[in-house]
Structure 1
């Protein structure tokens, strides 16, 4: 992105039930000053609980360390 490189992998197939899922180990940083919160969703897509975020007002970023059980997350 821009002048920075990203280490990423693409999910090509999510499989089908029953899912055998390991812990999520990821962090996200987004540069968008309008974003202020993150919510962990359950496997059905319903809000489960808020997730702690770190805001950097100087550069307008929001960072989230994903909970280990994250499958779906909304950032607003």
Structure 2
């Protein structure tokens, strides 16, 4: 799992144009959240698409828990 996380962090950290993420389950930790926010703050077009109606209520709560930090930098 750590290798996969490192790959995503490298991709996001090296992005210069855009980062588009589409996922039914946005479950991200502090480090990944910070990488995404930093990308947005350096001018990368960051967009995250999640379902409006989830298949699992708990996942919706976890996903929406990440929104305030991301929205603070206009994601």
TM-score with structure 2 setting the length: 0.25
Higher strand share: 1
Structure with higher Rg: it is: 1
